[in-house]
Amino acid sequence: MRAHFPLGSLVIIVGSSLLAGCSLTPRQTDHGIPEPAGYPANAKNLSNNQSTANPKSINPALQQTQPQQLSQTILQLLQQKNMPSLASFVHPQQGIRFSPYVHVSVQDLRFLPSQLAQLSTDQTIYHWGTFDGSGEPIQLTFNGYWQKFIFSHDYTSSRTQQIVNQPTQRGNSLNTIKPFYPGSMMVEYHRPATTGQPLDWSSLILVFQPYQGRWYLVGIVHDQWTI
């Protein structure tokens, strides 16, 4: 005998099933660490090669000047860990990706502008990638990451060299910034090696892409000697 259900009961059953499939708990990353609230569900599957950025939408005269000018302000904000103010420079759709090495990957964590404001006080331990050489996971709070992979040195000092849009292969880690961010411009703050210590150089690299007539920050990349 075929069972018959009242229409109202069927609606309740279907609705309950749909709600059961929509968990409100934080989504876990591949490493079991909760992603920040609002983190795009498909962010790790997106490459910036799919960017809507169109280099031709920017006045050619600004391509060599505007990112360089913006980077001076951004450098100061990073030194101060002023994340709320930094958010206004970040791409409104792509957000910003933090890469511990110049081999940029879709696995590198990316945050939206709305998530940056509380990042400097966030005590969550995130998985930022793996340490070069040891292969151990980089599991740090944002402040820990900032100290080791953003402002590992004072890039506002007189020793720092500013290099505009000239990707350089220094260590053994393959530099993929330009292919990963098509149509981008990069401003590198390079701290040369000290006398007698040829491997202690480091760089902070800011990556910009154009969107709707403006340059936006899309990546912060750290560079140092790698094995």
Higher pLDDT, 149 or 199: 149
Mean pLDDT score of the chain:
77
pLDDT at 202 over 50: yes
Q: Is the pLDDT of residue 119 over 70?
A: yes
Which is nearest to 44 in space by CA: 135, 112, 132, 105? 105
Query: For residue 116, what is the enclosing H or E element?
Result: helix 113-116
Backbone angles phi, psi at 28, to 5 degrees: -90, 145
Percent of the chain exceeding pLDDT 90 equals 53
The answer to whether 74 touches 82, Cβ cutoff 8 Å, is: no
pLDDT tens profile 6-22: 444 434 443 444 334 43
**CB atoms < 10 A from the CB of 187, how many?**
23
Say how far residue 194 (Cα) sits from the centre of its chain.
29
Compute the distance between CA of residue 91 and CA of residue 112 in angstroms, rounded to an integer. Answer: 8
Q: What is the mean pLDDT of residues 66-76?
A: 94
**What is the rounded average pLDDT of the residues 207-226?**
92
pTM for the model:
0.72
The span from the CA of 179 to the CA of 174, in Å, is: 11
Q: What is the 3-state secondary structure (H, E, C) of 131-164?
A: CCCCCCEEEECHHHHHHHHHCCCCCCCCCCEEEE
